[in-house]
Structure 1
Amino acid sequence: MQSGMDGYVSIGIGGSSMRDPGNLFVCFGGCACSQRSVGGHYMPVFNSAVSTVSTPASVSRGGLECTIQVDGLGSGFGYIWAVGASGPAGSASGDFGFHNERGTGFLQVAQAPVVAPSPPSSEPSSSRAADVEATTTSSASSTSAIRAISTRVTGTATGTATALATATVAASAQQASSKYCADSKGSFCVSASRSSELITFTVYSSQKGWVGIGTGSLMAGSTMFVGWNNATGSAPVVSQRSSSGHVMPTADSTSVFTLIETPKSLSLPPTTALSFTFTVPISAKLVSTTGPSQFMYGVSDAPPTAPSNPSSPFPQHSSFGAFTLDVSKLGLETTGDVQAITQSTLIFAHSLVMFIAWGVLPFAGIFVARYMKQRWEKSWYAIHWCLMLFGTGALTVAGLVAVEVNLGDGVARFTKSSHAVAGAVLALGVYPAQVILGFVINALFDVERVAVPWWDHLHAWLGRLSGVLALVVMQLGLSLYGSSVGIVVGFWVWIVVVLVVGFGYFGERVLGASQHVVEEAASADSLKV
Structure 2
Amino acid sequence: MRSPLSAATLLSPLFALRSALAEPVQYCRPGFNQGEADFCIGISRTVNASTKATDVFFSMTVSRSSAHGWTAIGTGAEMAGSTMFIVYGDPISGSDPVLSIRTIDGHHQPKALDLSTLPGLRVVRSKWQKLPVAALGPRHEDEPNYPIVPTSPASHIADIALACYGCPLQAWKLDINSKSQPFIWAWNDRQEFDSYSVDAHLAMHRHHAGSGGFGSFYVDMPQTLSDSPEPPAIRQGAANFGTSDPPTGFSGFLISLRARPLPKAHGFLMGVAFIVLFPLGVVLMRTPSGNPFKRHWMVQAAATGLTWLGAVAGAVMTGGRAPRTFHQWIGAMIALTLGAQVVLGWRHHMVFLRVRHRTWVSHAHIWIGRAVLGAGWVNVLTGLVMSGYGSFGIAVIGGLVVVEAVGVGLWVWVAQQRAKGKTAPGQTEAHALMATGSEGTEDYFAIDMSDDEFDTDVEDDKGRRSGPKRSVELRERKA
TM-score range, shorter chain: 0.3 to 0.5
Q: Decide which structure has greater strand share.
A: 1
**More helix by percentage:** 2
Higher relative contact order (CA 8 A, sep 6+): 2
TM-score normalised over the length of structure 1: 0.39
